[in-house]
Structure 1
Amino acid sequence: MTSATTGAPAYRRAVVTGAAGFIGSHLCEALLDEGWLVTGIDHLRGHPEEVTARNLRSLRADPRFLLVTADIAVADLDSLLYGADTVFHLAARPGVRASWGERFSEYVDSNVLGTHRLLDAAGRGGVRRVVVSSSSSVYGGAEDGPTAETSLPTPLSPYGVTKLLTEQLSLVHAKRPGSRTSVVALRYFTVYGPRQRADMAITRMIDSALTGRPITVFGDGLQRRDFTFVSDAVQANLLAAQARAQAVAVNVGTGSTITVLELIELVGEVVGQPVAFEHGPPGDGDARSTHADLAGAAEVLGYWPTVDLRTGIKHQVEWIRSLSAGAREPQLARG
């Protein structure tokens, strides 16, 4: 039996850190669809209990999925990674604004120390491939068109610094002489879709359109973003598991951008009601523009996005409405 998407032999064992999160839970479902046995690792403290339960509902019902409640910064990772072919490392402390304050040590523990311990254990256990979730935050702000992986990283926030350390630590482990573990780091450009965190822009905009509650737009609203639908991010992970590479970082985005004000108008069109908003001061560490150059992803992974922004927002609106109605969560189509 082989995977219809990647051609990889089925029934391999994958480990997914951050399995109860937004991208992680979708990825676990996709891996099960592809025929993998999946061990999910999550400390289960990153989301409200009801959100975690919802994200894990379908996974808990599958006997091929095992959830381990553990913090990778302190857990016995050798035993958890034993027999794994591929590790998908999504566990991280997210958020730009909070990274400036006293909680920065949490970012270091989760994003830096946890990654170092994970790659150490992967190397000792002979894990073939680790797919690491990085971020476009490593670039800082781009004003001159698409950003390629060859651009000099200049993060604008402590969070961005820790994500750069995350991928660089991972790549160093893969480049170590005699390493049996290869690494592909994925630099996500603003992933959105069903299960997105409540504090993220598109979720907040949809909620505003549905309820009339105003949101705050930080700065003038002319900052541009490259938004990536969650199923495209998942597909990039599946492709990265089989890519021919030893130590590489690649962009995962759409290659197109939109301003925050244009996004507000688009969300209002999809919902059928306007988004109420007010302007606030610019946020510390917010990039003026993010824009992915996808040539590297196409060459290394064979990746190209399949979901346009309007369609993706429509899926997210349908999901949020299904929660309000108590209906079953709509299933995402994966290309």
Structure 2
Amino acid sequence: MGLSLLRHRERVIGMAKIIVTGAAGFIGSHLCEELLRNHQHDVVGIDAFIDLSTPKWIRKRNLQHLLENPRFSFFEGNLLTVPWEQILHEADIVYHLAGMPGVRSSWGPDFVHYTDHNITATQRLLEGCKQYGIKRFLFASTSSIYGEKSGKVDESATTLPLSPYGITKLTSEHLCRVYYENDGLPVVILRFFTVYGPRQRPDMAFHRFIKQMFDREEITLYGDGTQSRDFTYISDCVRAVVAAGFADDIIGETINIGGKERATINECIALLEHLFQYKASVKVVGGIYGEPTSTWADITKAERMLGYSPAIDLKTGLLLEIEHLKKLYQYVK
């Protein structure tokens, strides 16, 4: 579906009240900004600041420009306890991005936080959406649900997560389908492939690598660097997510959102060295426990149903993230 057609459909729908959970996060804050570009939308962001991998001051900074927009309102609250009558009343669309992120931290006793915030919170939100008659519910899932695969992966591939985190996201997908099949809740599932760019979480590889290069520290590497990823730049990702909120004939569908360019981690480090104009020292600090050696999205379905066409190549995307982090860490000094 072309962009002009999408805009036409948005005008037909008219004013929409849109809920974004996880609004202070990396993808959530960008999504709110993109939604607000349409002046017919009111956006309500929800966040409980539970993600310990991102300092609260960074997440609050993500909200700064949003709070200046009169069509944006923010509700600080936990999805496990938030009163739905205050949030979902007269809401049209819910984008559910909130949750506990991270593969490595999902092992051990912290798993209880993943079950609470990824599974139980999703089930409670689905109940609320059923009660208030939401017109579309979009769930942000992950390529982690596929597990180890070779070659391009489409949405019909078997799902065999390698980590407790992946298990919780797949369980949430199943919950979405249960409410779709039994209650007619208009659900769409979007599976993200390694999203990067400005506001990326500090524990994610590119953020960590770039900061270490600014500080002239060793790059900390998990694995041998030959693992490859399908990298999706944030602006490409959120345009697809917005489109999924309004596209026709996608209720009940699961759709991959991948990027323009795949690369190994070693190739990414070499590209960063080129951009920084110096040779980095690399220190292997662990294996890729719980993570696949390769991800590669077949985005044929997104192209057909959403008019999706990722535009940002890896070099351009890394330059934009470098500029963001340069400003971010000057901001605190």
TM-score normalized by structure 1?
Answer: 0.92
AA partner of residue 136 (structure 1): S
Q: CA deviation at 1:44?
A: 2.1
Conserved? CA contact 2:260–2:312, under 8 Å:
no
User: Which structure 2 residue ranges, 5 or more long, are not aligned?
Assistant: none
Offset of 1:78 from its aligned partner? 3.9
Structure 1 residues not aligned, in runs of 5+? 328-335
User: Deviation at 1:52?
Assistant: 1.9
Deviation at 1:294, TM superposition (A): 0.6
The residue aligned with 2:20 is: 16
> Secondary structure at 1:319's aligned position in 2?
helix
**Partners of 1:264 and 1:81 in 2: CA distance:** 44
Contact 1:191 1:227 in 2 (8 A): yes
SS of the residue corresponding to residue 326 of structure 2 reads helix
Larger mean CA deviation between 159-168 and 270-279 belongs to 270-279
Which of 244, 262, 279 is the aligned partner of 1:240? 244
Deviation of 1:325 (Å): 4.2
Is 1:39 the counterpart of 2:40 in the alignment? no
> 1:100-137: per-residue Cα shift (whole Å, max 9, x none)?
11011110111111111111111111100011100000
Match of 2:328 in 1: 323
What SS is found at the alignment partner of 1:231? helix
Superposed structure 1 runs of 4+ greater than 6 Å apart = none
- Select the residue among 179, 189, 198 that pairs with 1:194: 198
SS of residue matched to 2:61: helix
Partner residue, 1:51: 58
Q: For 1:121 and 1:168, how far apart are their aligned partners in 2?
A: 17
Q: Quick check: 1:187–1:252 contact (8 Å CA) kept in 2?
A: yes
**SS state at 2:32 partner:** helix
- Contact 1:187–1:251 under 8 Å retained in 2: yes
> Could you tell me how far apart the structure 2 residues matched to 1:132 and 1:275 are?
38
Are residues 1:76 and 2:83 paired? yes
Corresponding residue to 2:126 among 119, 138, 153: 119
DSSP 3-state at the match of 1:16: strand
Of the three residues 307, 321, 324, the one matched with 1:302 is: 307
Highest RCO, 1 vs 2 (Cα 8 Å, sep ≥ 6): 2
* Residues 211 and 151 of structure 1: CA distance in aligned 2, closer, same or farther (over 3 Å): same
Identity of aligned residues (%): 39
Structure 1 residue 166 and structure 2 residue 166: aligned? Answer: no
**1:276 Cα deviation from its structure 2 partner:** 2.7
**Residue 269 of structure 1, aligned match among 265, 269, 274:** 274
3-state SS of 1:6 partner: helix
Aligned to 2:72: 65
Matching residue of 2:215 = 211
What is the rounded CA distance, in whole Å, between the counterparts of 2:85 and 2:306 in structure 1? 28
Superposed displacement of residue 326, structure 1: 4.2
Q: Which amino acid aligns with 2:19?
A: V
CA distance in 1, matches of 2:105, 2:69: 36
Q: Within 5 A, what are the aligned runs for 1:137-156?
A: 137-143=144-150, 145-156=151-162
DSSP-derived class of the 2:30 partner: helix
Name the structure 1 match of 2:7.
6
Are the counterparts in 2 of residues 255 and 294 from structure 1 also a CA contact under 8 Å? no
